[in-house]
Structure 1
Amino acid sequence: MDDAAGKPEVSFKRVLLKISGEALMGDQSYGLHPPTVERIAREVQSVHDLGVEICMVIGGGNIFRGLQGSAQGMERTTADYMGMLATVMNALAMQSALEALGIHTRVISAITMNEVAEPYIRRRAVRHLEKKRVCIFAAGTGNPYFTTDTAATLRANEMSCEAIFKGTKVDGVYDKDPKKFDDAKRYDEVSYDEVLQKHLGVMDASAIALARDNHLPIIVFSLDESGGFRGILSGKGTYTKVHG
């Protein structure tokens, strides 16, 4: 249903979009693929045009993953800080792509680096959202041993978001990998506890528990499907809702 201005009615007013660093690689095995970054920016633009307030958290796995570095003998804390810096690089790339589309953005880092990003101050970030700026939260929580999934859930709660949108390669949560098993079953809805008990891999356990404790729904959808982000906010599309 459309409103008087011709825009579709949206079910959320403020959301957080969480995507992996790998989502920015395109068909490459490493780094950033500018056309893919631009495509995702256009998906964000399509939702921003609806008047929805958007914040983002982007992983860093396309550049450096702390756990991988740790597994190769690097000290875990150092490896995690390197992973946080990778998320800042991705955030700056997304900022550039969004601003090329005329959308005002702020990169807000949990690690102080005043020359390239704002420090994280909750009330200032909320004000940016109220002014319809897209806030891209970088450097995770600023602490080692925490993933960007946990950072996304933390920031979504601090920003009073109504949902986390988790953009993935598939159109929801399945009981097993749909790319490997033809009989994989997709859930329309699933509970937080079921995600944890069945190890469904939506987000890490800390992020799921934090979302559950604060009654924050997680919408899992395909970022590869053009218009999918906007479609779900307009009451259409295929996705899985994780909630209580």
Structure 2
Amino acid sequence: MLVPKYRRVLLKISGESLKGSAPTGIDPDALNYMAQQIGDVHQMGIELAIVIGGGNIWRGGQAERWGMDRATADYSGMLATIMNALALQDALEKRGIITRTQSALQIQAVAEPYIRRRAMRHLEKGRVVIFSAGTGNPFMTTDTASALRALEIGAEVLLMAKNNVDGVYDSNPHINPDAKRFVSLDYLEALNRRLEVMDSTAVSLCMENKLPIVVFNIFEQGTMQGILSGDTVGTTIAATD
């Protein structure tokens, strides 16, 4: 049996990846595909935690442009991530994968409160843990929540799942057909080039704590398994010697 490269990982899934071809909401086919990919990784014996976004339902930045108070808009976005987390939890448990959703907001009727040691215990027991509601604070993205939770639980890598691009490019590959994909990047280069991989706070947090980031297209079948088996997939952002 192949020994996985990593023992414990954190997967960041954008809310947009759950809407599939629909303009908003959750597409059942996209949701089930995501659950199947996660299930394949879970079968490898890897301890897997997930942070999920809410952009398919609500975007705080957009609501602010409509005139809503930014903090209120961001709290609404946190509730959207909880809805996505519950949908993903249901899809995973239908596949026999014991899953726990934890929320940074107190909403105990549907999710456990985020407690670091409880989350780690779930992982040790082979359960998938979904972290919802971001960090629980406005003005903080779910990218930042991903970096923070990954460090808190001792994850060995942060997997940034994308749904329309297979890594980090020097320009927008959907506009520029000559855009070059990076196989690897240093944290500072990713920050200085403003490549929009994830927000700068999240990249800086990973850099300060030497947590590698792998950016990949989750809608390419088997890519996540490949990464965790040690294959070179997507773009790796890490410290260079």
Give me the TM-score of the superposition, normalised by structure 1: 0.96
Percent identity between matched residues is: 52
What is the aligned partner in structure 2 of residue 29 from structure 1?
A: 23
Q: Aligned-pair distance for 1:237?
A: 5.2
| Residues 1:40 and 2:34 aligned together | yes
Q: Aligned-pair distance for 1:92?
A: 0.3
| Residues 1:203 and 2:225 aligned together | no
1:227 to 202, 218, 222: 222
What is the aligned partner in structure 2 of residue 103 from structure 1?
A: 97
1:189 to 160, 184, 190: 184
| Residues 1:112 and 2:106 aligned together | yes
2:140 to 139, 142, 146: 146
What is the aligned partner in structure 1 of residue 231 from structure 2?
A: 236
Within 1, Cα distance between the matches of 2:197 and 2:151? 18
What is the aligned partner in structure 1 of residue 43 from structure 2?
A: 49
Q: Secondary structure at the residue paired with 1:18?
A: strand
Q: Aligned-pair distance for 1:19?
A: 1.1
Within 2, Cα distance between the matches of 1:101 and 1:229? 18
CA offsets 1:122-181 (integer angstroms, 9 cap, x no match): 111100000010000000000000000000000000000000000112111100111111
Within 2, Cα distance between the matches of 1:239 and 1:9? 21
Q: Aligned-pair distance for 1:9?
A: 2.3
CA offsets 1:36-68 (integer angstroms, 9 cap, x no match): 101011100111000000000111000001111
What is the aligned partner in structure 2 of residue 174 from structure 1?
A: 169
Within 2, Cα distance between the matches of 1:230 and 1:45? 10
Q: Across the two proteins, how many residue pairs are aligned to each other?
A: 238
What is the aligned partner in structure 2 of residue 3 from structure 1?
A: none
| Residues 1:81 and 2:75 aligned together | yes
Within 1, Cα distance between the matches of 2:28 and 2:219? 15
Within 1, Cα distance between the matches of 2:123 and 2:95? 18
Q: Secondary structure at the residue paired with 1:212?
A: helix
Q: Secondary structure at the residue paired with 2:48?
A: strand
Within 2, Cα distance between the matches of 1:38 and 1:238? 23
One-letter code of the match for 1:12? Answer: Y
Cα RMSD (Å): 0.8
One-letter code of the match for 2:141? Answer: T
What is the aligned partner in structure 2 of residue 20 from structure 1?
A: 14
CA offsets 1:201-227 (integer angstroms, 9 cap, x no match): 111010000000010000001111011
Mapped contact 1:15–1:164 kept (Cα < 8 A): yes
Q: Aligned-pair distance for 1:8?
A: 2.2
Give me the TM-score of the superposition, normalised by structure 2: 0.97
What is the aligned partner in structure 1 of residue 2 from structure 2?
A: 8
Mapped contact 1:19–1:59 kept (Cα < 8 A): yes
One-letter code of the match for 1:159? Answer: I
What is the aligned partner in structure 2 of residue 159 from structure 1?
A: 153
Structure 1 alignment gaps of length 5 or more: 1-6
Q: Secondary structure at the residue paired with 2:216?
A: strand
Query: Deviating runs (4+, > 6 A) in structure 1?
Result: none
Within 2, Cα distance between the matches of 1:235 and 1:226? 16
